[in-house]
A and B are shown apart, each in its own frame.
Chain A
Amino acid sequence: MRKRLLINIASALLLARWRQTLVAAVGVTFSITMFITLLSFMSGLNDLLDGLILNRTAHIRIYNDIKPNADQPINRSAAYTKSHNFIGSIKSDANRQAIYNSDAIMKSLQKDPRVLGLSPKLTAQVFFNDGSIDITGSIFGINSTEETKLFHFDDYITSGNSADLNKVSNSIILGKGLADKLLVQIGDGVQITTSKGERFQLKVVGTFQSGIKDFDNVQSYASLNTVQKILSVPNDYITSIQVKLNDIKQAPAVAKEYEKLYQTDAEDIQTANSQFETGSSIRTLISYSVGVTLLIVAGFGIYNILNMMIFEKMDSIAILKATGFSGNDVKNIFIYIAISIGIFGGLIGLLFGFGLSALIDQIPFNTISLPTIKTYPINYNPKFYVIGIVFSFITTYFAGWFPARKASKIDPVVIIRGK
Chain B
Amino acid sequence: MSTILEAKNINKFFHDPVRIQVIENLNFSINKGEFVSLTGKSGCGKSTLLYVLSTMDTDYDGTVFIDGEEMPKKNEPFLAKIRNEKIGFVFQFHYLLNEFNVLENVMLPGLKLAKYSREEVEHRAMEKLKILGIDHLALKKSNHVSGGEKQRVAIARALINDPHIIMGDEPTGNLDKKNSDIVFDIFKQLADEFNQTLLIVTHDPSFAERTHRIIKMEDGKIIQ
Chain A interface (Cβ within 8 Å of chain B)? 1-2, 5, 9, 12-13, 15-16, 315-316, 318-329, 411-413, 416-417, 419
Contacts and interface: CB of A to CB of B under 8 A. Distances in A.
Interface stretch (B30-38, B61-69, B87-95, B124-132): B87-95
B85 interface: yes
A229 B156 CA distance: 103
A326 B161 CA distance: 17
B112 interface: yes
B145 interface: no
Contact of B83 (A15, A324, A329): A324
A2 B114 contact: yes
A2 B111 CA distance: 8
A355 to B, nearest CB: 34
Nearest to A12: B99
Nearest to B98: A16
A247 to B, nearest CB: 53
A419 B170 CA distance: 11
A14 to B, nearest CB: 9
A105 to B, nearest CB: 74
Interface stretch (B3-11, B73-81, B176-184, B215-223): B73-81
A381 B97 CA distance: 46
A12 B95 CA distance: 16
Contacts of B98: 16
Given A323-B83, A324-B81, A5 B97 contact: no
Contacts of A318: 95
B51 interface: yes
Interface in B91-135: 91-93, 95-100, 108-109, 111-114
Tell me if A's interface is mostly helix, strand, loop or mixed.
helix
Given A13-B99, A16-B98, A419-B93, A323 B77 contact: no
B70 interface: no
A5 B111 contact: yes
Given A324-B161, A416-B95, 6 more contacts: A5-B114, A322-B54, A323-B108, A323-B157, A327-B76, A329-B112
28 contacts: A9-B108, A12-B97, A12-B99, A13-B99, A315-B95, A316-B95, A319-B95, A321-B56, A321-B80, A322-B54, A322-B56, A322-B83, A322-B89, A324-B80, A324-B82, A324-B112, A324-B113, A325-B84, A326-B76, A327-B77, A327-B80, A328-B77, A329-B80, A329-B112, A413-B51, A413-B56, A419-B91, A419-B92
Nearest to B81: A324
A15 B99 CA distance: 8
B57 interface: yes
B80 A417 contact: no
B47 interface: yes
A5 B112 contact: yes
A325 B97 CA distance: 14
Contacts of B100: 12
A1 B83 CA distance: 19
A321 B83 CA distance: 9
A41 to B, nearest CB: 43
B149 interface: no
B73 to A, nearest CB: 14
A201 B100 CA distance: 92
A419 B171 CA distance: 13
B55 to A, nearest CB: 10
B77 A326 contact: yes
A417 B89 contact: no
Contacts of A5: 108, 111-112, 114
A127 to B, nearest CB: 87
A327 B76 CA distance: 8
